[in-house]
């Protein structure tokens, strides 16, 4: 065994993590298998391992120059594993495995993982600093007290009940920030959506994998929204209030509510940043929100190719051209527009996809590219992965930087300057 080798790891039948010194860890980029190398990074403390039920681990035997499937040890079946990354890291390879049972995986961003001298290594690269999003700043012992304090300040505000659940049960960081009174804080407003995204974390059909979050079930009153906006914008350092959280649908569908709340908040304070996370499919709504005083917009995008966009987002009553129209209008009015790129190795970094993405960004005047690891069972995308060779993720990113040198690339929404 090479001391620098990144070895295959998997779980035995008892759930114990096994390191196989005879095989090298393997990751997948499109139709290409790649072995673990020195580009793999240490899995951070905020990362975690997750089992891949119904999948056997796959490793590379350097002696025979072959890919091997491990089905068991001493008659006991084994299970492949993957890493789940914190925001700030972009995955470069998917886990390699062989399916032996038809089990759909939950909604996570599965990343190739291995072990080097006892240290877990992941096929990922750092794409942003986690200065505000480091887990050490969250889930602190005083969080329950801070939740109770905020609820006492606004005892009739139903949004806080939703955020308290998100902060405590789902450990949502933007929900927690409303109680910590700092940075970016989410304010959910919409139980409805005009898309049916395959990877939606708050609404899934019964036959699919369960949603990891429960969507808000009511439309708040204007005062409920404005009170939380004003409180956060006035008090929070580098404060951002964001509409369009994981526990809601499309916030722009509540355009009248948000338009009034934004105007009410801006009549009280000019501090902070008002942001919307949106699919931007409803141009009329986006126009109203921009004109009311929106500061930034993060537009979710799986692909700039209409056919692929429709395959993933499954829009209801809008087209991708409406998204383009909304983004261009917002940017033309001085709103900082970011693409929330739902990144999937082997698809997003296809050359044709990259060309269309860069054209979309340039045409719309978009300032930021925020990369999000797409949370979805890799098998859901197997049918749309091209057989063409795709570049390494690091090369893909360098290509975008070369084509769009003024584009800010990272993972987080930034406060307005």
Which residue intervals of 314-367 are DSSP H helices? 320-332, 351-364
Which phi and psi (to 5°) does residue 105 adopt? -80, 150
Q: What are the domain boundaries of the chain?
A: 7-126, 135-410
pLDDT of residue 74: 78
Please tell me whether residue 393 adopts helix, strand or coil conformation: helix
For the entire predicted model, the pTM comes to: 0.94
Phi and psi at residue 143, to the nearest 5°: -60, -45
| pLDDT higher than threshold 60 for residue 203 | no
pLDDT at 215 > cutoff 90: no
Name the band, by pLDDT with cuts 50, 70 and 90, for residue 131: confident
**Pairing verdict, β 336-343 and 368-373:** parallel
Q: Given this model, what pLDDT does residue 417 score?
A: 67
pLDDT in tens, 281-305: 999 999 999 999 999 999 999 999 9
User: Which pLDDT belongs to residue 49?
Assistant: 97
E-state strands within 204-351: 240-243, 273-278, 296-301, 336-343
Residue 369 has pLDDT above 60, yes or no: yes
> Taking 50 as the threshold, does the pLDDT of residue 28 lie above it?
yes
Distance of CA 338 to the CA centre of its chain: 14
Max CA distance (Å), the chain: 71
Average pLDDT, the chain: 94
Mean pLDDT of 66-93: 94
CATH of segment(s) 135-410:
3.20.20.70
How many other CB atoms are found less than 10 A from the CB of residue 125?
A: 17
């Amino acid at each position: 065994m090479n001391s620098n080798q990144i070895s295959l790891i998997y779980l035995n039948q008892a759930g114990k993590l096994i390191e196989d010194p005879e095989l090298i860890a393997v990751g997948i980029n499109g139709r290409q298998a790649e072995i673990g190398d020195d580009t793999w990074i240490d899995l951070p403390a905020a990362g975690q391992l997750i089992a891949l039920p119904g999948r056997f681990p796959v490793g590379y035997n350097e002696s025979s120059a072959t890919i091997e499937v491990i089905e068991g040890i001493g008659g006991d079946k084994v299970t492949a594993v993957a890493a789940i990354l914190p925001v700030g890291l972009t995955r470069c390879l998917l886990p390699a495995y062989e399916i032996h049972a038809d089990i759909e995986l939950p909604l996570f961003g599965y990343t190739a993982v291995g072990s080097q001298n006892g240290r877990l290594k992941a096929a990922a690269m750092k794409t942003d600093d986690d200065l505000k999003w480091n887990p050490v700043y969250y889930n602190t012992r005083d969080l329950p007290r801070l939740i109770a304090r905020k609820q006492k300040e606004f005892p009739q505000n139903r949004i806080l009940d939703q955020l308290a659940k998100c902060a405590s049960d789902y450990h949502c960081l933007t929900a927690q920030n409303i109680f910590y009174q700092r940075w970016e804080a989410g304010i959910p407003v919409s139980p409805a959506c005009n898309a049916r995204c395959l990877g939606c974390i708050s609404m899934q059909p019964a036959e699919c994998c369960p949603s990891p979050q429960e969507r808000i079930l009511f439309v708040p009153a204007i005062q409920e929204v404005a009170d939380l906006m004003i409180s956060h914008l006035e008090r929070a350092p580098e404060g951002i209030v964001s509409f369009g959280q994981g526990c809601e649908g499309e916030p722009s569908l509540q355009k009248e509510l948000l338009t009034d709340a934004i105007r009410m908040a801006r009549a009280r304070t000019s501090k902070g940043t008002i942001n919307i996370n949106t699919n931007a499919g409803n141009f009329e709504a986006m126009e109203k929100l921009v004109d009311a005083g929106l500061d930034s917009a993060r537009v979710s995008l799986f692909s700039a190719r209409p056919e692929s966009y429709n395959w993933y987002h499954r829009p209801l009553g809008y087209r991708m051209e409406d998204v383009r129209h909304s983004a261009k209008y917002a940017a033309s009015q001085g709103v900082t527009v970011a693409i929330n790129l739902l990144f999937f190795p082997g698809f997003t970094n296809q050359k044709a996809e990259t060309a269309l993405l860069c054209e979309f960004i340039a045409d719309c005047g978009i300032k930021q590219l925020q990369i999000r690891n797409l949370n979805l069972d890799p098998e859901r995308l197997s049918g749309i992965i091209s057989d063409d060779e795709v570049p390494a993720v690091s090369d893909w990113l360098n290509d975008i930087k070369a084509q769009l040198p003024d584009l800010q690339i990272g993972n987080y929404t930034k406060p307005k300057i």
